[in-house]
């Protein structure tokens, strides 16, 4: 997993860590049950505060992405865990909404849009 901290983005460091770990979980790059880097190792490697990493991990746990096992570390939750699934659904919704908006501009009918989705689904299934 790639984790980079930007000093100029204006986004707090804990938030940057959270976003990147979330993205890695949602994309499947981080698999279920996989361990996140140890808190203190990550802090050392990125040369950031231990408390900053703690905050990122705690919030990820509250949002249901990871599970903290006392003394063993932080593990990725399954993608069917309610909250992760919710996030994925939101992502699908957002993508579809964008497609609908674009199809309105392109004056596609409802049927044409459905048809297009079916073609894409088939093409994707072949891969």
From 19, 41, 62, 97, residue interacting with another protein (rule: CB under 8 A): 41
Identity of the residue, 15 or 32, whose beta carbon is nearer to another protein in the bound complex: 15
Does 13 engage in binding with another protein (CB under 8 A)? yes
From 44, 85, 114, 115, residue interacting with another protein (rule: CB under 8 A): 44
Q: Give the number of other CB atoms < 10 A from CB of residue 75.
A: 16
Beta bridge partner(s), residue 76: 66
Does 47 engage in binding with another protein (CB under 8 A)? yes
Min dist CB 76 to another protein, Å, is 23
Does 48 engage in binding with another protein (CB under 8 A)? yes
Q: Write out the two tokens for 54.
A: 């703690």
Per DSSP, 35 falls in state B
Candidate ranges 22-30, 38-46, 71-79, 89-97; the one touching another protein (CB under 8 A):
38-46
Identity of the residue, 9 or 97, whose beta carbon is nearer to another protein in the bound complex: 9
CA end-to-end distance (rounded Å), the chain:
25
Burial of 106 (0-12, 13-18, 19+ CB in 10 A): exposed
Min dist CB 113 to another protein, Å, is 40
Place of tokens 């399954």: 78
**What's the CA gap between 101 and 105, in Å, rounded?**
7
Interaction site with another protein (CB under 8 A): 10, 12-14, 40-41, 43-44, 47-52, 55
């Amino acid at each position: 997993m790639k984790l980079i901290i930007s000093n100029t983005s204006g986004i707090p460091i804990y938030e940057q860590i959270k976003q990147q770990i979330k993205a890695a979980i949602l994309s499947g790059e981080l698999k279920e049950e996989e361990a996140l880097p140890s808190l203190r190792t990550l802090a050392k490697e990125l040369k950031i505060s231990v408390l900053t990493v703690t905050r990122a991990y705690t919030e990820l746990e509250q949002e249901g992405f990871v599970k903290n096992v006392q003394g063993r570390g932080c593990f990725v939750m399954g993608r069917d865990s309610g909250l992760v699934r919710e996030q994925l659904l939101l992502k699908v919704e957002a993508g579809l909404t964008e497609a609908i908006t674009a199809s309105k501009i392109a004056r596609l009918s409802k049927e044409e849009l459905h048809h297009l989705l079916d073609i894409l689904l088939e093409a994707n299934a072949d891969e």
